[in-house]
């Protein structure tokens, strides 16, 4: 999921490095603000985002599925981003979902605030305009959002059916999601979309396994009951977005704190992706597609072969923009290891292993709480050393 709200003072200033005449872009990745130099030469990195056709995703031919896997693997290595088309989510479902988003964000402020993110320990719910600030040089992210995700208790998600567990984990005392009572159609409508996007993302997990030269089901156990986040977004027009790098921003530059993200965007262009040379590349809407991108967990598992590419949203169009990212992350119980095929074990250290094995839930809590310093779950555990934090802090 998008993060992280480091204070402006934590940004490494360009003056701290040689070449002060150079241009830099700033972004958040991991839990720190950092920067990248902008090359003034024509870009040698990607300048557009490839599209992968999933029409044959369910083909009975392993070779055909491996072909798709190779295309995705190439796109992830080069860009960390790709579009998918012919993904199987019906157009009617997508149109209904955008109508739902417009209807929800048009509700009275008070109705939405009943489900404010501060009222839920798992940091789910409604976030009004300017509540996050991914780029601390700006006044805040000019967007409103609502987050829901995996939940052990909500019947729509069938935790026991999917996992075979006799019941939810004993320490779970309340649903991880929060919903506005005056709009029952919101929960219903979001779950109608969730029922399509979650299975699609799990099919992609299998294709990714193939892309690493593994059995198709090699990652299945990581995603038995994954951490998910679905985050409808509304970006009003921000005419000040075009003037300077530091102008208004819908969502400041960041890399995603997920394994894989699938974004449904409406027809208003605003998403921009940072290439290796520090140039912003547009990711405009393309009818019938999702934009997919690698998140920090997959970057780690692939030893950096697939980068969690930095991106941002600037709505310069004069129109309202709606989008719907879906974030997929392995289950919190999973220990995430770098894939052996992604590093060399020999002595020359040309491609060494860059990351230790880490528990998914441990990394999650260490990223999420510092990003939400004012949230009640963060303040509640303010005096507990980070080494003692656990994922279960989000659950009760
Ligand atoms: O709105 C979009 O197109 C992208 C949103 C995004 O990057 C995020 O929520 O992490
Ligand atoms: Fe993102």
3-state secondary structure the chain: CECCCCCHHHCCCHHHCCCCCCEEEEEEECCEEEEEEECCCCCCCCCCCCEEECCCCCCCCHHHHHHHHHHHHHHHHHCCEEEEECCCCCHHHHHHHHHHHHHHHCCCHHHHHCCEHHHCCCCCEEECCCCCCCCCCCCCECCEEEEEECCCCCHHHCHHHHHCCCCCCCCCCCCCCCCCCCCHHHHHHHHHHHHHHHHHHHHHHHHHHHHCCCCCCCCHHHHCCCEEEECCEEECCCHHHCCCCCCCECEEEECECCCEEEEEECCCCCEEEECCCCCEEECCCCCCEEEEEECHHHHHHCCCCCCCCCEEECCCCCCCEEEEEEEEECCCCCEECCCHHHCCCCCCCCCCCCCCCEEHHHHHHHHHHHHCCCCHHHHHCCCCCHHHCCHHHHCC
Count other Cβ atoms within 10 Å, centred on residue 345.
8
Is the ipTM above a cut-off of 0.85? yes
Which residues have CB atoms below 5 A from the ion given as ligand 2? 2, 256
In this structure, which ligand is nearest to the CA of 323? 1
Q: What average pLDDT does this structure show over 94-116? A: 98
In this structure, which ligand is nearest to the CA of 285? 1
In this structure, which ligand is nearest to the CA of 313? 1
170 CA distance to ligand 2 centroid (A)? 33
What's the pLDDT at 28? 73
Q: Could you report the per-residue pLDDT of 283-312, keeping only the tens digit for each?
A: 999 999 999 999 999 999 999 999 999 999
What's the pLDDT at 356? 95
pLDDT at 16 over 60: no
What's the pLDDT at 216? 98
Q: Which residue has the higher pLDDT, 12 or 84?
A: 84
Atom of ligand 1 nearest to the CA of 327: 10
Predicted structure pTM score: 0.93
Atom of ligand 1 nearest to the CA of 312: 7
62 CA distance to ligand 1 centroid (A)? 33
pLDDT at 43 over 90: no
335 CA distance to ligand 1 centroid (A)? 27
298 CA distance to ligand 1 centroid (A)? 17
Q: What average pLDDT does this structure show over 38-57? A: 90
Q: Which residue has the higher pLDDT, 345 or 305?
A: 305
Closest residue by Cα to atom 10, ligand 1, is: 2
Q: Which residue has the higher pLDDT, 20 or 124?
A: 124
Percent of the chain with pLDDT over 70: 92
pLDDT-derived band at 135, boundaries 50, 70, 90? confident
Closest residue by Cα to atom 3, ligand 1, is: 271
Q: Could you report the per-residue pLDDT of 370-393, keeping only the tens digit for each?
A: 888 889 999 999 999 999 999 999
Q: Could you report the per-residue pLDDT of 166-218, keeping only the tens digit for each?
A: 999 988 989 999 999 999 999 999 999 999 999 999 999 999 999 999 999 99
Atom of ligand 1 nearest to the CA of 321: 1
Give the bridge partners for 127, in sequence order: 145
315 CA distance to ligand 2 centroid (A)? 15
Q: Which residues line ligand 1 (CB under 6 A)?
A: 2, 231, 233, 251, 256, 263, 265, 271, 311, 313, 323, 325
Count other Cβ atoms within 10 Å, centred on residue 222.
20
pLDDT-derived band at 7, boundaries 50, 70, 90? very low
252 CA distance to ligand 2 centroid (A)? 9
Q: What are phi and psi of 141, to 5 degrees?
A: -75, 125
Atom of ligand 1 nearest to the CA of 283: 3
172 CA distance to ligand 1 centroid (A)? 29
In this structure, which ligand is nearest to the CA of 283? 1
């Amino acid at each position: 999921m998008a993060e992280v709200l480091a204070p402006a003072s934590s940004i490494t200033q360009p003056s701290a490095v040689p070449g002060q005449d150079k241009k830099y872009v700033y972004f958040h990745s991991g839990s720190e603000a950092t920067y990248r130099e902008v090359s003034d030469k024509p870009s040698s990195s990607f300048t557009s985002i490839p599209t992968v056709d999933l029409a044959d995703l369910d083909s009975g031919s392993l070779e055909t599925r491996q072909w798709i896997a190779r295309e995705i693997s190439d796109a992830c290595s080069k860009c960390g981003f790709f579009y998918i088309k012919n993904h199987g989510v019906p157009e009617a479902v997508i149109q209904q979902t955008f109508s739902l988003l417009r209807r929800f964000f048009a509700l009275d402020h008070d109705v939405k605030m009943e489900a404010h993110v501060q009222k839920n320990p798992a940091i789910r719910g409604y976030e009004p305009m300017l509540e996050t600030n991914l780029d601390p040089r700006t006044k805040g992210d000019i967007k409103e959002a609502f987050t829901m995700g995996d939940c052990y208790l909500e019947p729509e998600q069938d935790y026991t059916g999917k996992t075979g567990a006799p019941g939810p984990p004993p320490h779970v005392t309340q649903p991880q999601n929060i919903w506005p009572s005056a709009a029952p159609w919101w929960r219903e409508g979001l779950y109608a979309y969730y029922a399509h996007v979650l299975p699609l993302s799990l099919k992609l997990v299998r294709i990714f396994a193939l892309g690493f030269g593994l059995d198709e089901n090699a990652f299945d156990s990581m995603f038995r009951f994954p951490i998910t986040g679905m985050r409808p977004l509304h970006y009003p027009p921000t005419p000040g977005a075009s003037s300077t790098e530091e102008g208004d921003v819908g969502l400041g530059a960041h890399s995603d704190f997920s394994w894989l993200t699938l974004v449904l965007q409406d027809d208003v262009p605003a998403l921009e992706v940072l290439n290796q040379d520090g140039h912003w590349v547009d990711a405009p809407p393309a009818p019938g597609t999702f934009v997919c991108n690698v998140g920090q967990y997959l970057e780690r598992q692939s030893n950096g072969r697939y980068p969690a590419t930095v991106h941002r949203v600037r709505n310069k169009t004069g129109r309202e923009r709606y989008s719907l990212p879906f974030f997929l992350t392995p289950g919190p119980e999973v220990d995430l290891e770098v894939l052996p095929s992604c590093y060399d074990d020999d002595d020359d250290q040309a491609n060494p292993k860059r990351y230790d094995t880490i528990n998914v839930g441990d990394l999650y809590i260490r990223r999420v709480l510092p990003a939400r310093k004012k949230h009640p779950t963060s303040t509640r555990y303010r005096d507990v050393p980070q080494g003692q934090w656990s994922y279960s802090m989000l659950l009760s």
